[in-house]
């Protein structure tokens, strides 16, 4: 059984160094698709996505 597409977004986002464009490329989807999937996860869990601050 393969993982659902939404299940692959968080690991891809982490593995890409928290870069949405690289995560989208790894998943072969548009960047906005990754954004949408991450927003859905935030809604379901009630926890915000952690972002890295730039120095």
pLDDT in tens, 1-55: 345 656 888 889 889 988 999 999 999 999 999 999 989 988 988 888 776 555 4
Sign, CA dihedral 13-3-35-37, equals negative
User: Which tokens belong to 49?
Assistant: 């996505």
Closest Cα partner for 9 from 19, 21, 24, 45? 24
Domain layout of the chain by residue ranges: 5-45
Residue 2 is predicted with a pLDDT of: 46
pTM greater than 0.95 (yes/no): no
Residue 21 is predicted with a pLDDT of: 93
Q: Please, what is the end-to-end C-alpha distance for the chain in angstroms?
A: 42
């Amino acid at each position: 059984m393969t993982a659902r597409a939404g299940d692959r977004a968080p690991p891809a986002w982490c593995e890409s160094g928290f870069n949405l464009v690289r995560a989208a490329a790894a998943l072969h989807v548009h960047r906005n698709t990754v954004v949408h999937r991450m927003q859905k996860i935030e809604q379901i869990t009630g926890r915000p996505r952690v972002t890295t601050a730039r120095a």
